Amino acid sequence: MATGTGTAKHIIYGLLDPIDNVLHYIGLTSDPKKRLNNHYNGNEGTKEKLIWIRHLKKNGLKPIMEVIEEYETSEELPEAERYWYCFYKFFGAELFNDPYYIGSGSRKGRKTSEETKAKQSAAKKEKKFSEEHKANLSIAGKAAQKGRVISEAHRAKLSAANKGKIVSEEARANMSIAAKKRNR
């Protein structure tokens, strides 16, 4: 992996696992220190990346940020990110990036247009689940709750948190209906 040495502050970087030095992420930034902290402390990214970062944290480690290439302007970064992502994927790197965002920079600060929101809403409304799929989702949800054991200490905390709460008659009726459905 090439390491830039110029004075430019716009970089393409890789995140490496400090345990085995394996590359797991390609990114772009103009503020490396802040970006590394965002990776370490944030909760954005693919499931694989979040699990990897959580594993490192559990072991008291941080990913290593290595500069792949430096650029004079931030406008050059999206194309360079696409290039380096494809380069390392071609050679078999297991990257935890979301391919959808490669070369697009961050979604942060961008506004979704009303037209796009309407299209997304329509697409979700059009999606129909088969009865079989609905039944499978229901079974999976129930299975996740079956056998769930709550310790006495946890029960005491829940009880203390709910003592003195005033619950409306309507809310009581809704909870009763939900409990009856669960116990079928």
pLDDT by residue (tens digit) across 79-103?
999 999 999 998 889 999 988 888 7
pLDDT digits (tens, 9 = 90+) for 36-79: 999 998 888 889 999 999 999 999 999 999 999 999 988 888 99
Give the mean pLDDT of 19-28: 94
Domain locations in the chain? Answer: 10-101, 130-182
- Whether residue 94 contacts residue 24, with contact meaning beta carbons closer than 8 Å, is answered with yes
Average pLDDT, the chain: 84
**How high is the pLDDT of residue 5?**
44
Hey, which CATH number is domain 10-101, 3.30.70, 3.40.1440, 1.10.150, 1.10.3470?
3.40.1440
What is the rounded distance in angstroms from the CA atom of residue 74 to the CA atom of residue 9? 9
Reference 39, options 90, 31, 110; nearest CA is: 31
Does 13 score more than 80 pLDDT? yes
Q: What is the pLDDT of residue 4?
A: 44
State yes or no: pLDDT of 107 exceeds 60.
Answer: no
Q: How much is the pTM?
A: 0.55
Token duo for residue 62: 């941080």
Are the C-beta atoms of residues 21 and 60 closer than 8 Å to each other? no
